[in-house]
Amino acid sequence: MNRDEKASISVLKIVLICIVLIFAFNVVTKATNVEIKNTKIILSNNYELDVVTTKEKVSEILKENHIVVLPDEKVTPNLETVISNNEVITISKTNAGQPTSAIELAEEDSEVSMDQVLSNYTSIVEKIVVEEVVIPYETITKDVSNNSKDTANKVIQEGKDGLKKISYKVKYQNDIEIEKIKISEEIVREPVDKIVQVQTKTTARKSTTAGERLKAGKTISKMGTYKVTAYCACSKCCGKATGITASGKKATAGRTVAAPSNFAFGTKLKIGDNVYVVEDRGGAIKGNRIDIYMDSHSAALQWGSRYLTVEVVE
């Protein structure tokens, strides 16, 4: 080997050694430039974890510490944020009152499944609960004694409690009720009012009054106390506006009444101080219910609902 070839080999060795030294220097430089950060992680259950990391992004730090974030949790700052030394990562619930603190700190370097996370939570059970509630009846007192001092109370109608069903959506946690929301209400049975009539005690004078009525050529049969309402010829009251009654006659205010079928058409009824004629029927007119015809809808509304003594005039 001549002198020139030996010189070329020596130069090549020197170049290779320089390249190796430069590469090693760059590696050492990069290693010394890696920042070691102290970071605090606050979990949604308020547990605080202090970690030391060389990772930069929030997502990388959480993954490094085996922290799983559920869909209903949020991370502050967000997962793509690059953080510096002594910053805090906070994981919080996005829906207050719901069991979202489903973070598991793994003891081993293994993937944590969603089933494993959810198994650490106390389950919430939701049920539909139906409750029955009694609707108390009301007592209505009718004073027909004309301020007499000698009176007696007479029960015209016994009262009956009503019943309603209320549906609730109830949430339980550890068999303890934590939320109750009413979703519907249904009246199963309407209450029936108790009607008490305050009246003058029966005396011999009452018999005389009945005799006077017989002498006048009128036989009056007392039927009892009825719920007396009012209607007119409008479509709201009758479904039509012809004013023609079920008997075929034209309805007339002060004369026409609608009564149950046990009263024949043409029957005269004394209601209060007036005498009316049964000329009409009605789908809701049953039992102790009578409807008095009025000239207008406003007059019918003004009459409302009254409990009055009804007598048959023959």
For 202-313, CATH gives 2.40.40.10
pLDDT at 160: 92
CB 64 within 8 A of CB 53: yes
Q: Give domain 37-120's CATH number out of 1.10.1220, 3.50.50, 3.10.20, 1.10.3470.
A: 3.10.20
pLDDT score at 237: 82
Per-residue pLDDT of the chain (314 residues; tens, 9 = 90+): 555 555 566 667 776 777 766 666 554 444 445 577 888 899 888 888 888 888 889 999 898 888 888 888 899 999 999 988 889 999 998 864 444 444 444 444 455 555 655 555 556 788 899 999 999 999 998 888 888 888 888 888 999 999 999 999 998 887 888 899 999 999 999 999 999 988 887 654 444 454 454 444 455 566 688 899 999 988 888 777 788 898 889 989 999 999 998 889 999 999 888 899 999 998 888 888 999 999 888 888 998 889 888 888 87
Report pLDDT for 47.
82
- What pLDDT sits at residue 15? 67
Instruction: Identify the pLDDT of residue 80.
Output: 92
In this predicted structure, what is the pLDDT of residue 101?
42
220 sits in the region (left: phi over 0; alpha: psi -120 to 50; else beta) called beta
pTM of the model: 0.33
The pair of three-digit structure tokens given for residue 295, joined into one six-digit string = 């000239």
Question: Where are the chain's structural domains?
Answer: 37-120, 125-189, 202-313
Residue 16 DSSP one-character state = H
Return the pLDDT at 29.
Answer: 45
Pairwise CA distance, residues 6 & 209, whole Å: 157
Task: Write down the pLDDT at residue 214.
Answer: 41
The CATH code that applies to domain 125-189 is 2.20.230.10
pLDDT, residue 117, reads 54
Pairwise CA distance, residues 169 & 187, whole Å: 18
- What pLDDT, on a 0 to 100 scale, did the predictor assign at position 156? 86
In three-state form (DSSP H/G/I as H, E/B as E, the rest C), the secondary structure along 121-165 is: CCCEEEEEEEEEEEECCCEEEEECCCCCCCEEEEEEECCECEEEE
